[in-house]
Structure 1
């Protein structure tokens, strides 16, 4: 049997969507929420898959060090990089793709999370990024450990 836990971490970051063509191409920011889902087949002597405090320390630690109060920028967005480089101090984190909520969830799942937890500490199997109170994107490992992306916006349901 597999057991899954989730730890929610809040952080603030700025970004822009390169070549978006709409208002999201402008610099702007969000109060993000990241949900980290960890699964494991076994429990420790206390009955936990992973101690929530450990998940918080590792995931929040990574976010605080890399993304919190930073601008997340696509590495091909030379205009944004040049503009942000004019301001000191300025925290900038370059991503290999546009910093959409989907890509942020994917990065946390595929790149950041594997380095955070040792064998037997549980495995991050899903990351959900809330960009607003009404919209999130999620990256999850499938049965064969490939990443599956999805996004949900509840704002469209408000019109019903």
Structure 2
């Protein structure tokens, strides 16, 4: 893409990475002999920051890729009304039935994936791509990447080549 713009969003949400296992998998060999706890198995929350980058090879009649306002409008309901101040939970999480039955009064944002930063980035990417497709804008505007910051020092990026 010759031109790219990035819009940043913020939201607060809880989750748990129910598949976390620090002593097996790809990264286990990076650890010493000490067996650590799996802290992200616990219910916890983040002040998330999301950066959405879209691009185009040409500018529109207003000499923009697209107005920042339009990107905000495309994601407003998802971020402000559905995800913000929710508990993001995978319907495959063994605790999901308990949450649904006993904590149904809570704002649950139910997804079909373990809610890691990487998976959330792909989810938001696909959501925005769908919005652009609905508006018949995909010929001119592409989603370049979505970055999800879970902490000040940890982020995940999703992009398609």
CA RMSD in angstroms comes to 1.7
SS in 1 for 2:84: coil
What CA distance in whole angstroms lies between the structure 2 residues aligned with 1:37 and 1:81? 36
Q: Are 1:99 and 2:115 counterparts?
A: yes
Q: If each structure's strand is expressed as a fraction of its own residues, which one has the higher value?
A: 1
TM-superposition CA deviations, 1:36-66 (whole Å, max 9, x none): 0001122122210000111112123321232
Pairwise mapping of residues 72-111 of structure 1 onto structure 2 (< 5 A)?
A: 72-83=88-99, 85-110=101-126
Asked if the contact 1:73/1:81 (under 8 Å) is kept, the reply is: no
Residue 147 (structure 2) aligns with: 128
Query: Where does structure 1 differ by over 6 angstroms across 4 or more consecutive aligned residues?
Result: none
Query: Paired residues, what number?
Result: 141
TM-score normalized by the length of structure 2: 0.79
Structure 2 stretches lacking a partner, 5+ long:
22-37
Q: 1:116 aligns with which of 106, 131, 136?
A: 131
Residue 63 (structure 1) aligns with: 79
Q: Tell me the CA shift for residue 88 of structure 1.
A: 4.6
TM-score normalized by the length of structure 1: 0.80
Structure 1 stretches lacking a partner, 5+ long:
143-160
Call closer, same or farther: CA 1:18–1:137 in 2, change over 3 Å. same
Q: Which has the higher contact order (CA 8 A, sep 6+)?
A: 2
What CA distance in whole angstroms lies between the structure 1 residues aligned with 2:121 and 2:98? 26
Q: Are 1:52 and 2:52 counterparts?
A: no
